[in-house]
Structure 1
């Protein structure tokens, strides 16, 4: 009878150990899912700096480019000899990202808004192509507001050598990409 009781209690102990192991596995899985839920797109893009990615943008265009910089609202990409500032809201999907993520390293992220990046291009008077969901405009950024930019377009309608400047306002919500020309 003693052997039978020993086997009974050994079986109960084994069942308890198995239940505890299953609980530990379930707890680890829940913690992993909870941690993954805190990862931002910017964290994944930050881990891809230097990598070549395929981006599909909301206007239907694709862009295969190297990730150069990442900010809370935009990503800087390099494609051959041109660079592009792409608002994160203009990205429809990305291929080529790993599962890795990198958190921001400083509190300076707050000063790296889309407006700040566009104001830097405006100060440099850099010629740009501004792509929106409905087309594009070539020119220079003339003004940057809180939620929009004005692009000064070159109009050739007045004849050769007599080009005039025309302005176009582009809300950030319609912005797909600002590229070097």
Structure 2
């Protein structure tokens, strides 16, 4: 009888240790999964929903999330479309869980791809950046900058038709008029 009790006790200790090890493994896997989640994945999970952003300038932006890629997102505010580089986002809410990873092609879409599409279509845009807001047409998109052909004189602004070069790192939003 004593042996049976001893073996039963050992068996229950082993089962408890195994459960504890399983719980630790599950917790470690969950933590690893959370650590691999990117902001773009959480934003993409909100596609179609209303979202609020605070940009590095302190400006707030709200609208419906149309699309999100690893480097940028596209929001709609009425008829206006706003391209936002993820680097410009300080806060975003409300966010929930992450969406599944995107297809390999979507993961490679950089903000420059979206800007080149706007330039190719000849769409008038407004570029908000650290140095102010400029309206006009994108005429060139480089690896780390854009050229914008301005469309109107404003006090302290380039003359009509001047081409200004804006660093991509300085851009907060690019919106359609």
Q: TM-score, normalised by structure 1?
A: 0.87
Residues of 1 paired with 2:73 and 2:105: CA distance? Answer: 17
- Higher radius of gyration, 1 or 2: 1
- Among residues 124, 129, 135, which one is paired with 1:127 in the alignment? 124
Q: Trace 1:82-121 onto structure 2 (pairs within 5 A).
A: 82-110=80-108, 112-121=109-118
Q: Which runs of 4+ in 1 moved over 6 A?
A: none
Give the direction of change, closer, same or farther, for the CA distance of 1:154–1:80 in structure 2 (3 Å limit). same
Task: Indicate conservation of the 8 Å contact 2:37/2:98, yes or no.
Answer: no
Give the direction of change, closer, same or farther, for the CA distance of 1:108–1:53 in structure 2 (3 Å limit). closer
Residues of 2 paired with 1:156 and 1:117: CA distance? Answer: 27
Corresponding residue of 1:15: 13
- Among residues 63, 66, 77, which one is paired with 2:64 in the alignment? 66
- Provide, for residues 84-124 of structure 1, a one-character-per-residue CA deviation record: whole Å limited to 9, x for no partner: 000011111111111132211343542x2211211111122
Unaligned 5+ runs, structure 1: 158-162
Corresponding residue of 2:161: 165
Corresponding residue of 1:140: 137
- Provide, for residues 123-150 of structure 1, a one-character-per-residue CA deviation record: whole Å limited to 9, x for no partner: 2221111011232111111211111001
Residues of 1 paired with 2:91 and 2:71: CA distance? Answer: 16
Task: Indicate conservation of the 8 Å contact 2:72/2:86, yes or no.
Answer: yes
Aligned length: 174
Residues of 1 paired with 2:14 and 2:160: CA distance? Answer: 82
Corresponding residue of 1:46: 44
Q: TM-score, normalised by structure 2?
A: 0.89
Residues of 2 paired with 1:136 and 1:156: CA distance? Answer: 13
Q: CA RMSD in A?
A: 1.9
Residues of 2 paired with 1:108 and 1:100: CA distance? Answer: 16
Residues of 1 paired with 2:151 and 2:98: CA distance? Answer: 43
Residues of 2 paired with 1:52 and 1:134: CA distance? Answer: 28
Residues of 2 paired with 1:173 and 1:100: CA distance? Answer: 26
